[in-house]
Each structure stands twice: as C-alpha cells, then as structure tokens.
Amino acid sequence: MTRITEDLVRKRAEHNDGILATLEEVSLHQLNIEKIELLGHMCKHLRILYFQSNLIARLENLHKLKELEYLNMAVNNLTKIQNLQRCESLQKLDLTVNFLDKAGLLSVQSLQHNDHLADLYLLGNPCAEWHGYRPFIVGTLPQLRKLDGQQIPPSEGIAARQMLPGLLQQLRQELLAEGIDPDKAAQVEDDSVTSDDIAETGYRDESGEMRRPWCPATRILEHRESQAQEAEAESRRKAQQQSYCNPDDIKTQLREDFPAIQEGEDIRQKNEGKWEFTLQDSANGAAVELDVEIGRDGCCSCACRVRCGLTAAKLSVALLLVTCCSQCPRRIYLVLHPTLHTPGPVQAYQHMIDHQRCPQKFSQSAECPKRAQATQE
C-alpha cells in the first residue's frame, strides 16, 4: 500500500517546483493508494486532483479543498458518495468504474450541496444498470448539465424531477426486498462536521505530563496545540512591536538624587541632560576640543555626571577626561559656556588634562565671543 506523504506529493508537483502551498494540480494515479489523507492540510489551493486507478474505498479528508473544481476518482473501490459537501467549487466529478450499486444511488443526494457541479460520470458502476438510473440522477441533481458525457436538455430535467418521487419509492421497495435498509443506505458522512470534534486520546501521569498514544487523533490534537501556541506567540510579538512603534507608550525615566561625589572619584560624562555639544580636533591638531553648551539655571539639575556649583558670578567645573590613546600627546579640552540666550555673568574655564595627568592649567579662550568676555578666576 502506498501512503500519501509530503515527499510523494512534492515529487508529483515538479511542474510547480515542488512547492505545495501554491499547488493547483496534482496527479496521484496508479499508485495503489488506499486512503486519502494530508492533502487538505498541505495543498489547500488544489483545483484539479487525479486519483484514478487506485484502491481507494472511501471519499474522505477532502472538505478543506475549497477551490477544488475537478476530482477524478475513476477505477477505485468506492461504494458510496460522501464527504464532498464542503467542496463548494466542485464542477466535475468522475466516478467511472467503481462499485456504486442501487443502494449507492441514495448517496447521490449528498451532492445536492455542490451548487456548481455540472458534470458527473457514473458509467461502469452497478447502479448504472438500474432502469431508472438516469432520470433518478438528473432529478436528484438539478444543477447537472452533463451526465456520463451526455448533455441534459431542460426538457429532460423537468421530466426527471416529475418522475423522481415514484423512482425513489420504487428503489426503496427493491432494496427492502433485497434485505437492505434504505434509510441506512442513504446515510452519508460529512467529515467537515466531525473532523473538529476529536476526543482526548491521552491521560496525565503522576507528574502531570500528558501521555498520548501514537495515532491519527493524537497527531491532530498535537498539531492544534502547536498552532494555538504559535498564534499566542505571534500575538505577543505583534503587541511588543506595537509598543515600540507607539511613542506614547514609551516613558523616559530620568534619574534623580544622584549620590554625592566622593573626593577622588572619577566623574564620567553620560550626557543624560541632553546638552548640546561638539567634539572636534583643534585648529593646530594638537588637541581634541569638547564644547558643551549649558544653561545658567539648568546645569545642576541635569543628570549628567558634571559637578557644578552655580552662583551669580561663578561657575565651578570638576571633570575628569582621558586622552584617546596613551601614545598620543594630544590633550583634551573641555569648554563650558552659556548658550547665546543665557544672560548673566558666568565664568568660563578650560579644563586641560593630558595622558600623563599633568597639572591643571586654566586659560581664557578667545574663540567664543561669550568666553572672550569672561573673567578668569
């Protein structure tokens, strides 16, 4: 027996580069297949499906093929038509040379839900030998346009529908005479209704872990659980992305009440106060200048690690800077000055420390008009 597997379908989908998600036509004929499975999950966009010359005894697991238009089940072992009620797009059904007998004729009623079904083939089945075969099929399925390759004119359809009640009563009487229950013969399955109702197959052991036997129902249950987990994870991921994209949900927390700076402690510039600054080489290339613009009233409340004591006439700055390279003789200058819109007398300093921790030197800068007017302490 050949099982329908993903590898098998991919081999038969070479015309679609082996891609199953977009596969629209596949031929699985003459493979001794006994059961239809997996196609509804792997190839939901199938439009044409060939299953002729196999050993399939039951129509099943096709209800998810909503786009299926042509199904060829010729030369199989079918005895009843069922489980096609949810194939809404089905237009052509070939059941030539199967084993539908007179009792199987009653299952034709299940195709009344397939509104687009226009072409049906039942030649070679035992039911085709019954004297009322053609008018019974035409009367039961008014949407048909062709039966066994022959057109159905409107006049034949009208006559068949008028004959149907009598033919149905006669068929039931013949089945009862043969010891066959017509009501039971007319019962058909719709696996689209029952497929979602799968009972739990396992149990929980002493540790609380679920134990399930390996069976088709277990596979479906585990697949659904996996889908639910993936959906939940995707929902959390989208919610997290949404929070990133919504600036209203982002709240910046500013640090307050910094601990007092101990004597000898390194002070590192973090610029949490968002001060405007520039960092560039000096004109002669012998130093790197860091120019920070601070407001008269805002520097001390800022969250950067600059130690400031602001009075009406004095600005004291303590800052530790390290040169970019131990082998580089250049010095780093820190230039602090008020913004152009800040009035008032403010002292400006240049804090200079080289890589050898040379003594501090203060000098007045003539590059900035504001600093040129400042008085060195």
Q: Are 152 and 144 in contact (CB under 8 A)?
A: yes
Label residue 262 by pLDDT band (50, 70, 90).
confident
Which one has a higher pLDDT value, 185 or 318?
185
Q: How far apart are CA 347 and CA 374, in angstroms?
A: 5
Q: Are 198 and 220 in contact (CB under 8 A)?
A: yes
* Buried residues in 81-93 as b, exposed as e (16+ CB within 10 A): bbbbbbbeebbbb
pLDDT of residue 318: 32
Instruction: Evaluate if residue 260 carries a pLDDT over 70.
Output: yes
Q: How far apart are CA 86 and CA 63, in angstroms?
A: 5
Q: Are 54 and 27 in contact (CB under 8 A)?
A: no
Give whichever of 163-167, 245-249, 315-319 has the largest mean pLDDT: 163-167
pLDDT in tens, 159-205: 999 999 999 999 999 999 999 999 998 888 876 654 455 667 777 77
User: Which candidate, 165, 168, 142, places its Cα nearest to that of 154?
Assistant: 142
Q: Are 26 and 49 in contact (CB under 8 A)?
A: yes
pLDDT in tens, 221-242: 777 778 788 888 888 888 888 7
Sign of the dihedral defined by the CA atoms of residues 321, 325, 326, 332, in that order: negative
How many other C-beta atoms can be found within 10 angstroms of the C-beta atom of residue 245? 9
- Average pLDDT value for residue range 148-159: 95
User: Which candidate, 234, 202, 204, 208, places its Cα nearest to that of 221?
Assistant: 202
DSSP type of residue 14: G
Which one has a higher pLDDT value, 252 or 75?
75
Which one has a higher pLDDT value, 231 or 243?
231
How many other C-beta atoms can be found within 10 angstroms of the C-beta atom of residue 261? 12
* Buried residues in 264-288 as b, exposed as e (16+ CB within 10 A): eeeeebeeebebeeeeeeeeeeebb
Instruction: Evaluate if residue 24 carries a pLDDT over 90.
Output: yes
Label residue 377 by pLDDT band (50, 70, 90).
very low
Spatial CB neighbours of 50, under 8 Å, sequence gap ≥ 6: 26, 27, 28, 29, 72
Q: How far apart are CA 84 and CA 73, in angstroms?
A: 12
Instruction: Evaluate if residue 67 carries a pLDDT over 50.
Output: yes
Is the full-model pTM beyond 0.95?
no
- Average pLDDT value for residue range 311-317: 31
User: Which candidate, 53, 135, 138, 120, places its Cα nearest to that of 84?
Assistant: 120
Whole-number average pLDDT of the chain: 75
